Amino acid sequence: MTEPLRLTVLICAYTLERWGDIQTAVESVRRQSRPPNEVILVSDHNEELLDRARAAFPDIRCLPNSGPRGLSGARNTGVEAATGDVIAFLDDDAAADANWAAQLLEAYTDAVVLGVGGAVVPAWRAPRPAWFPEEFLWVVGCSYEGQPRTRAEVRNPIGANMSFRRQVFAVAGGFDTSVGRLGKDTAGCEETEFSIRVRRAHPDGRILIEPSAVCRHTVTTDRATRQYFRRRCRGEGRSKAVVSRLARGDSALTAERAYVRQTLPAGVARGLRDLRRGDRTGAARSWAIVEGAALTVSSYVFTRIRLAACERRGW
């Protein structure tokens, strides 16, 4: 009889401004129908946060980030300390549903599965803006229109709700600290770059999305604004350019090509249909899709040009 997989849940935190969210995230992990074997919280170079976490959560391991400041460094610290067969990553401002861990682990029954991500549902702190399109929920770190609705193979999961077998880190390495979020900036894509490396190291392996493994990701009032929407789109374009340069191949943009060619045009058309039916906000959603795509693509192109110039100059 096969031994059940051991599970480590890893939460990375960087600021006491999210203390309430951190408490909610930890409590959601404690209430799992399939309790994890280990929970690790990594504080990203914040001594006060680390001290408070150790006092508040005596039942979990609270560690300082031993690597460079930022989410990638914090995640690598947690991975190095983890003892589980599977390491699940939950954002510090996300709360897992009660069956989250069980659903993630159930998807690992096939040995070729290297990683499993779940669905990320927005938990709006303020009313969701009527202009905000489903196709751009990735702006606030959530599952978006165009992603699979049933278990399916994907290039990479969403970082707020993902897991990998611990053994893949020994072969593929950790998260690249030159990519990813630092504090409140709008960078990202470290999970994309890592997933590409994992697949290259394990050509026969699979990374899945399991939509029944749900977490709810807090969307603060400041993120439900046009200003943040635009800033995050530009940040995504820059991050994708860096990942594309690191990956050195077509795999960095395979999902994005299908998204731009199919999902976004369908979203614009749907918004215009809503407008014809009397919903004036449909036009606003269509425009947001066009604007978001333009900002992301232009930022990507500009960053690729800048990176190429730096390479030619030997910087």
Q: Tens digit of pLDDT for each residue in 32-50?
A: 999 999 999 999 999 999 9
Residue 125 lies in a domain: yes
Residue 66 lies in a domain: yes
Residue 32 lies in a domain: yes
The whole-number average pLDDT for the span 90-105 is: 98
315 has a pLDDT exceeding 70: no
Contact 155, 251 (CB under 8 A): yes
Confidence of residue 246 (pLDDT cuts 50, 70, 90): confident
Percent with pLDDT over 70 in the chain: 95
312 has a pLDDT exceeding 90: no
- 211-6-170 Cα angle (round to 5): 90
Q: Which domain holds residue 217?
A: 7-312
The whole-number average pLDDT for the span 133-162 is: 96
Residue 1 lies in a domain: no
Residue 2 lies in a domain: no
The whole-number average pLDDT for the span 135-147 is: 96
Contact 57, 88 (CB under 8 A): no
pLDDT at residue 184, as a whole number: 57
State how far the Cα of 42 lies from the Cα of 73, in Å rounded to an integer.
10
pLDDT at residue 189, as a whole number: 78
203 has a pLDDT exceeding 70: yes
Radius of gyration of the chain (CA): 19
226 has a pLDDT exceeding 70: yes
pLDDT at residue 239, as a whole number: 86
298 has a pLDDT exceeding 90: yes
- 304-307-313 Cα angle (round to 5): 140
Confidence of residue 132 (pLDDT cuts 50, 70, 90): very high
307 has a pLDDT exceeding 90: no
pLDDT at residue 181, as a whole number: 59
The whole-number average pLDDT for the span 255-264 is: 91
Residue 285 lies in a domain: yes
For the stretch 46-63, pLDDT in tens is 999 999 999 999 999 999
State how far the Cα of 310 lies from the Cα of 315, in Å rounded to an integer.
5
Q: 15-29, 93-107, 128-142, 231-245: which range is least confident on average?
A: 231-245
Beta pairing class for 152-153 and 206-219? antiparallel
For the stretch 156-171, pLDDT in tens is 999 999 999 999 999 9
Confidence of residue 254 (pLDDT cuts 50, 70, 90): confident
H/E stretch holding 145 reads none
pLDDT at residue 253, as a whole number: 77
Confidence of residue 284 (pLDDT cuts 50, 70, 90): very high
- Beta strand spans in 145-249 (E): 152-153, 161-165, 206-219
Number of domains in the chain: 1
pLDDT at residue 197, as a whole number: 93
pLDDT at residue 152, as a whole number: 97
Residue 65 lies in a domain: yes
pLDDT at residue 256, as a whole number: 87
CATH number, residue 277: 3.90.550.10
Buried b (16+ CB within 10 A) or exposed e, 163-192: bbbbebbeebebbbbebbbeeeebbbbbbb
pLDDT at residue 244, as a whole number: 81
